[in-house]
Amino acid sequence: MNPDRFPVHGAGLGLRRSFIDAAAERAPQAVDFWEIAPENWIGVGGRFGRLLRSLTERFPFVCHGLSLSIGSPAPLDRAFVERIRDFLDVHGIRAYSEHLSYCSDDGHLYDLMPIPFTEEAVHHVVARVREVQDILGRRIALENVSYYAAPGQEMAEIDFLNAVLSEADCDLLLDVNNIYVNSINHGYDPLAFLEALPGERVVYAHIAGHYAEAPDLRVDTHGADVIDPVWNLLEHAYRRFGIFPTLLERDFNIPPLAELAGEVAEIARLQARHQGVERRAHG
């Protein structure tokens, strides 16, 4: 995997308002890049707006959207996409990603709903991705999402995901935790799923914690520390595809920034270890 093709490098962290003051005053050395949801920041002024601007001027940023609703049956909100474009340009955002799901029809549903795994849905999503990319004037990345039901399923999840990525010619935001969560909830082999992904489309990855509701049910909360099986899956991804930028997500039960930086540093340690393995292999 050619590192020059990545929009950012190293280990990242999702920026949250609860610790933005600390990040702006002294960003942790372990954090190489930051991620924000543009919907949470578009039009924000005052102190928070100034803090964000001070950070985007100093550090690499990527954006991970919440409400593009790429699989929605409703018409694409072109005005919203134009606002996203302007925000990305103003802040020099390196990459824009969204969920391969939908969250709206006549109105917003405030949750990420599963797109039916069907050929018809593939064509629907592909057309919308192409329209979004035309408006933005840039490629987007789609994230493999966690889901808890598969209504009207005609294809395997991996086949649906790969078909959308290939036909839309867009990139992949690889969420390692979502693979693990889905493998438990839907009873498949996470390594086989990972092996079947198009590694050349990965622009960066997410890793996060989740909640164990039952032995056969995991809930993707981003509210806990990353567990060993998820770290192991990330290591397997590095072995399979090479080292790619990887970002820690934490949305609930958010600890102090210094504690989060420790988990980000663990990403960096894994990357450094696999970098050493790659160098020895090529040497």
210-245 per-position pLDDT tens digit: 999 999 999 899 999 999 999 999 999 999 999 999
Contact 36, 97 (CB under 8 A): no
The domain 3-282 having CATH identifier 3.20.20.150: the answer here is yes
Task: List C-alpha distances in Å: 264 to 136, 172, 173, 225, 246.
Answer: 30, 21, 18, 11, 9
Mean pLDDT confidence for 118-126: 97
Decide: 261 and 31 in contact? Cβ < 8 Å. yes
Mean pLDDT of the region 172-179: 98
* Residue 118 confidence (pLDDT): 97
- The whole-chain average pLDDT of the chain stands at 93
Residue 222 Ramachandran class (φ > 0 left, ψ -120 to 50 alpha, else beta): left
pLDDT in tens, 48-104: 999 999 999 999 999 999 989 898 988 999 999 999 999 999 999 999 999 998 875
Q: How much is the CA Rg of the chain, to the nearest whole Å?
A: 18
Confidence of residue 281 (pLDDT cuts 50, 70, 90): low
Residue 185 has pLDDT above 60, yes or no: yes
Burial label for 187, CB within 10 Å (0-12, 13-18, 19+), is exposed
pLDDT > 70? residue 1 = no
Share of the chain above pLDDT 90, in %: 83
Output the 3-class SS for the chain.
CCHHHCCCCCEEEECCHHHHHHHHHCCCCCCCEEEECHHHCCCCCHHHHHHHHHHHCCCCEEEECCCCCCCCCCCCCHHHHHHHHHHHHHHCCCCEEEECCEEECCCEEEEEECCCCCHHHHHHHHHHHHHHHHHHCCCCEEECCCCCCCCCCCCCHHHHHHHHHHHHCCEEEEEHHHHHHHHHHHCCCHHHHHHCCCHHHEEEEEECCCEEEECCEEECCCCCCCCHHHHHHHHHHHHHHCCCCEEECCCCCCCCHHHHHHHHHHHHHHHHHHHHHHHHHHC
Range of lowest pLDDT (126-135, 146-155, 178-187, 225-234): 146-155
Which of the four pLDDT bands, split at 50, 70 and 90, describes residue 278?
low
Q: Residue 257 corresponds to which tokens in the numbers above?
A: 């920034």
- Name the pLDDT band for 177 (thresholds 50, 70, 90): very high
